[in-house]
């Protein structure tokens, strides 16, 4: 019998092992002790070497009973706060919305270190049941409060068959060196129409990890949007499973990076049944010495005939030192499908710049106009006017950082 030799642990790994053991997660602690954090040798973390990038881990978070004002204000939204992993008391819910709590993590068991840590360390999760169509936007406001801490949180969202809803999750908090790990499980019933948005606005000193799982039933229309604009090190995992025929998913995402920031979106979409469609569009913009990473994989099962799935990723580099790393993949086991992927990367078009400047616009303003146009396809994907404006505001603040 072969016994795997434990790896040499870094200070961050030692801290994580100790935290897992203190939480009673002996198996998870032993697993981390043996394999450590993923390095470039782990394919799904090839561009995000956590063993190198994660240098320290703060103590596990103490409960927080209060939370600051929301990072973005969405008029009329119904706000639910999770502060330092603890679900806060919410105001009276709109009709058709049932709020509760569930013990432990909501994520499916996977061989992924972020998922395993969330599963081991989450004490309680938010449970949101949408029994019918909901008019106000549901805003799940995840907060990392106080001094730097290791914060784990979970939210399970179920949208009933035939319902419609817009749900936005934001991750933010105090200006401290937090580590966050947010898990979301979104189950969409037959014929439902759902827009789900995840926005990282955590502090510049923070590290943030997030995992979103989608279970997509028959005839569903799902729109998923992810925006990474916060922590200096961020990684979002998206797992989407099509389990009912006739469903369609639109997947959008945006990484914006500056200085020495590192932000990663990794997508894994599985078409497991016939007659489903998806479209994936992810954009990245990098300046300074920032590094933006997108990894996307579309899996088509043997029985998933008539699948139509198209993935596109586009990058815009604004400095010579910036890096944009992209890896799109297809794994197809069916023979009657229409699938494809594409990737582009470059800097601002000199012809477009010249055209704008020839009409009296300064170079800086011309560049801003072109960048804004490049990013608009992501922010405009959301139909709700107030949410779309809030997302555009995030882009505008990022643009002004360089003004």
pLDDT, tens digit (0-9, with 9 covering 90-100), for 110-132: 999 999 999 999 999 999 999 99
Please, what is the average pLDDT of the chain? 94
- The pLDDT of residue 400 is 84
Residue 92, Cβ neighbours under 10 Å: how many? 7
Whether 403 shows a pLDDT value over 60: the answer reads no
Strand order in the sheet with 193-200: 86-87, 78-83, 138-144, 164-173, 193-200, 221-228, 248-257, 277-286, 308-317, 338-346
Q: What is the mean pLDDT of residues 201-207?
A: 95
pLDDT, tens digit (0-9, with 9 covering 90-100), for 214-247: 999 999 999 999 999 999 999 999 999 999 999 9
Whether 140 shows a pLDDT value over 90: the answer reads yes
pTM of the model: 0.95
Q: What is the mean pLDDT of residues 147-167?
A: 97
CA angle at 261 for the pair 258 and 266, rounded to the nearest 5°: 110
CA distances from 355 to 123, 135, 246, 323, 361 (A): 57, 44, 45, 27, 9
pLDDT, tens digit (0-9, with 9 covering 90-100), for 48-92: 999 999 999 999 999 886 667 888 999 999 999 999 999 997 788
Whether 306 shows a pLDDT value over 70: the answer reads yes
DSSP conformation class of 92: P
């Amino acid at each position: 019998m072969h016994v795997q030799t434990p790896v040499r642990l870094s200070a961050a790994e030692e801290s994580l092992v100790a935290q897992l053991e203190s939480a009673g997660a002996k198996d998870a602690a032993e697993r981390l002790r043996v394999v450590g954090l993923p390095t470039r040798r782990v394919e799904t973390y090839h561009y995000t070497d956590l063993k190198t990038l994660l240098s320290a881990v703060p103590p596990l978070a103490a409960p927080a009973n209060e939370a600051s004002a929301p990072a973005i204000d969405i008029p009329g939204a119904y706000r639910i706060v999770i502060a330092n992993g603890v679900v806060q008391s919410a105001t009276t819910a709109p009709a058709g919305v049932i709020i509760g709590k569930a013990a432990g993590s909501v994520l499916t068991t996977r061989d992924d270190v972020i998922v395993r840590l969330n599963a081991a360390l989450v004490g309680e999760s938010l449970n949101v049941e949408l029994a019918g169509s909901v008019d106000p936007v549901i805003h799940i406001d995840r907060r990392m409060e106080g001094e730097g801490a290791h914060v784990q949180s979970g939210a399970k969202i179920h949208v009933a068959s035939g319902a419609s809803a817009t749900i936005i999750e934001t991750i933010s908090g105090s200006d401290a060196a937090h580590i966050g790990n947010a898990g979301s499980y979104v189950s969409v019933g037959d014929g439902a129409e759902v827009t789900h948005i995840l926005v990282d606005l955590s502090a510049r000193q923070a590290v943030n990890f997030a995992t979103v799982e989608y279970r997509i039933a028959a005839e569903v229309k799902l729109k998923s949007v992810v925006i990474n604009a916060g922590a200096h090190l961020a990684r979002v995992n998206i797992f989407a499973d099509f389990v009912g025929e006739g469903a369609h998913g639109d997947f959008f995402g945006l990484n914006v990076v500056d200085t020495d920031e590192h932000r990663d979106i990794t997508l894994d979409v599985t078409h497991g049944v016939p007659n489903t469609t998806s479209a994936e569009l992810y954009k990245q913009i990098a300046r300074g010495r920032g590094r933006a990473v997108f990894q996307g994989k579309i899996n088509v099962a043997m029985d998933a005939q008539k699948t139509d799935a198209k993935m596109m990723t586009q990058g815009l580099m604004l400095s010579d030192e910036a890096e944009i790393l992209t890896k799109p993949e297809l794994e197809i086991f069916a023979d009657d499908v229409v699938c494809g992927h594409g990737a582009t990367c470059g800097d601002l078009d000199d012809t477009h710049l010249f055209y704008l400047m020839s009409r009296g616009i300064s170079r800086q303003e011309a560049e801003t106009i072109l960048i804004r146009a490049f990013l608009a396809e992501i922010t405009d994907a959301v139909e709700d006017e107030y949410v779309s404006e809030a997302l555009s505001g995030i882009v505008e603040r990022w643009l002004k950082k360089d003004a």
